Amino acid sequence: MNKRSESEQKLEQILQQALSGLPPRRAPGTLESRVATELARRALLPWWRASFAAWPVVARVAFILVCAVLGVATILGGISAYLGDRSFDEASAVLLSWAHPFLTVVSSAGGLVALLVRVIPPLWLYGILGVGAFLYVTLFGLGAAAYRTLYLQPSSAGDDL
């Protein structure tokens, strides 16, 4: 064991001796009255202004049910308004017709990427990836430097928790 780690162990021991067994600090005399006042204030609040966990069970269940019903009604209402009096088959066709252009775009984009990968020399691709990585690291470094320069003050050097 080197001298430095011996010193650190010794420091830990003497600090443990100095810090252990210290009496607790005395709480301010106002603490008890503050708690009582806050409890009284909260007791006067109507139940619906308390946190959701403190609501009566019936109110919580009713709230969840109402939310679920409203959500489903909104979705069904939107679909119904859109479809009007069309039959189910027509409705399905309409929905699929929405998906068709999207699938076409995805398929075309995939074909384009495959074509580019075949046409562009691999060296170029590596270069593009390298430039992208360089820009990412540069921006990250600039962000870190800006944070250290603009945000961190010497007096708050330890405020990192």
Partner 1 sequence: MRAYQDMVFSTAARLAGNDTQAEDIAQEVFIRAYEHFSDLRSSVTAGGWLKTVTTNLTLNYLSRYRKRWRLFSELRASQDSDEDGAELDWEVPDTILADLSAEQRSAIVDTALRQLPDHQRLPLVLYHFEDLSYQEIAEKLNVSLTKIKTDIRRARAALLPLLQNAGGARDTLDG
Render 74-115 in DSSP notation, one character per residue: HHHHHHHHHHTT--HHHHHHHHHHHHHHHHHHHHHHHHHHHH
Residue 125 near partner 1 by CB under 8 A: no
**Residue placing its CB nearer to partner 1 in the complex, 1 or 31:** 31
Return d(Cα 79, Cα 74) in angstroms, integer: 9
**Residue of 58, 102, 151, 153 interacting with partner 1 (CB under 8 A):** 151
**Residue placing its CB nearer to partner 1 in the complex, 104 or 138:** 138
Residue 31, both tokens: 């603490």
**Residue of 106, 115, 125, 152 interacting with partner 1 (CB under 8 A):** 152
* Residue type for position 27: A
**Residue of 99, 121, 148, 149 interacting with partner 1 (CB under 8 A):** 148
User: Rg of the chain over CA atoms, in angstroms?
Assistant: 33
The 35-64 site mask, x for binding partner 1 (CB under 8 A), equals x--xx--x-----------x----------
Residue 90 near partner 1 by CB under 8 A: no
Angle CA(96)–CA(99)–CA(101) in degrees, nearest 5?
120
- Residues binding partner 1 (CB under 8 A): 4, 7-8, 10-12, 14-28, 30-32, 34-35, 38-39, 42, 54, 143-144, 147-148, 151-152, 156-161
